[in-house]
Chains A and B, each alone.
Chain A
Amino acid sequence: DIQMTQSPSSLSASVGDRVSITCRASQSISTYLNWYQQKPGKAPNFLISAASNLQSGVPSRFSGSGSGTDFTLTISSLQPEDFATYYCQQTYSTSRTFGQGTKVEIK
């Protein structure tokens, strides 16, 4: 399996802050990388595909970048509704692994 490692595992930030989450793959995955947001008690929500393609309805303060093994999810100005856990997922291999998640908490 391709291993996906996110950092940090958690972070505390204030409304209005710029936040970045990193996802590293154990081998090159080109841009076969998706990001999801999960709020407590809810199913995950699909945010970004192919490393940088924002899904319809997702606010433009979210952006994604990277290719190969290193990827970043950035929230340009954190809003109250953005406090959640974020997961990356690789779809390069048939066994499509997730990262362990990054919890974004209120400072």
Chain B
Amino acid sequence: EVQLVQSGAEVKKPGESLKISCKGSGYTFNTYWIGWVRQMPGKGLEWMGIIYPFDSDTRYSPSFQGQVTISADKSISTAFLQWSSLKASDTAMYYCARQSSGWPYSFDYWGQGTLVTVSS
């Protein structure tokens, strides 16, 4: 069974750093792209970027380029999303999702989400 298990909720202050995780199991982690999706409170889904764990090839949405860093450690089947300096506007639910292999590149499996709250 394919599973993506995300790290737990975080409460941080503005300016702090943060790294959240997404661990895959039940499939060959290295050979599927993993994506990250933001959902701000009461709002819709925003595609942030994706990474191919095999070689760490990473693509970002222009809206998120330079704002976050996506990485992966294939030895532990885990993808990461990190911030170097959080802002209040980073408060959101963050989902990881597996991209299907090949066309049409759907997000076929999703993690349960990690709620990030940034408040002074």
Interface residues of A (CB under 8 A from B): 1, 31-34, 36, 38, 43-46, 49-50, 55, 85, 87, 89, 91, 94-101
- The reply to whether B47 and A95 contact each other, CB–CB distance below 8 Å, is yes
- The reply to whether A98 and B95 contact each other, CB–CB distance below 8 Å, is no
What is the interface residue range for chain B against chain A? Answer: 20 to 34
For B37, B108, B112, the residue with the greatest tally of chain A CB atoms inside 10 Å of its CB is B37
- The reply to whether A46 and B108 contact each other, CB–CB distance below 8 Å, is yes
Q: List 21 A-B contacts (CB under 8 A).
A: A1-B62, A34-B107, A36-B45, A44-B37, A44-B45, A44-B107, A45-B110, A46-B110, A49-B104, A49-B106, A50-B103, A50-B104, A55-B108, A85-B44, A87-B44, A87-B45, A91-B104, A95-B61, A98-B46, A101-B44, A101-B45
| Chain A nearest CB, measured from B94 CB (Å) | 11
Tell whether B59 is near chain A: CB-to-CB under 8 Å.
yes
Interface residues of B (CB under 8 A from A): 35, 37, 44-47, 50, 59-63, 95, 97, 100, 103-113
Chain A interface SS verdict (over half): loop
